[in-house]
Amino acid sequence: MSNKYLDHLQVIVEDDANRQLINGLSQHHSLQQRRLQVLPPAGGWRVVLDILNDPATIQQITAFGKRHLLLLIDFDGQFTDRLALYEKYKASMTPAVSDRIYLLGCLHEPEKLRAAFNHSKSFEQFGRELADECAPYPAQNLWQHEHLQHNANELSRLVAQVKPFLFVS
């Protein structure tokens, strides 16, 4: 990421498997590399979500009005509980900030998604395919998988807001 004053997507990942998924997305042929910043793995879903409760994080998102923040976690089968915590943190923010924050993740963990495909794909391959479905002509096949379909609302919001600057047509 080269200029924090331009539209950009900053990504905070829970663990290495999620980092590999984002690495796959970052290899997409239409992606503008300079508009994506992936931070090192945070070390757990709670650490990722608690970032939203950190005044310094909110201050940075406020100061850099073109920053969008994607949180990528494993829901570990606890989608409702983790989504509720995310929504609680977002409720304390102004809409100008909360509208630029997104939460995505596998219903359980990326390893279970890969197992559902008989381990035939690497996490990076999944990341590239997921990016393909968000690029100019989305097919929306992989995102409909039972391990990912719960992301539909957030994905729709994310794609609508970041696709114009993150992907070249």
pLDDT of 112-158, one tens digit each? 999 998 888 899 999 998 888 876 555 568 888 999 999 999 999 99
With CA atoms as reference, report the closest residue to 71 among 123, 1, 18, 130.
Answer: 18
Q: What CATH architecture does domain 8-166 belong to? A: 3-Layer(aba) Sandwich (3.40)
| Total-model pTM | 0.94
53-65: per-residue pLDDT in tens?
999 999 999 999 9
- The answer to whether 35 touches 7, Cβ cutoff 8 Å, is yes
Domain residue spans in the chain? 8-166
Q: What would the DSSP string read from start to end of 42-107? A: -SSHHHHHHGGG-HHHHHHHHHSTTEEEEEEEE-TT-HHHHHHHHHHHHHTS-HHHHTTEEEEEES
What is residue 122's three-state secondary structure? coil
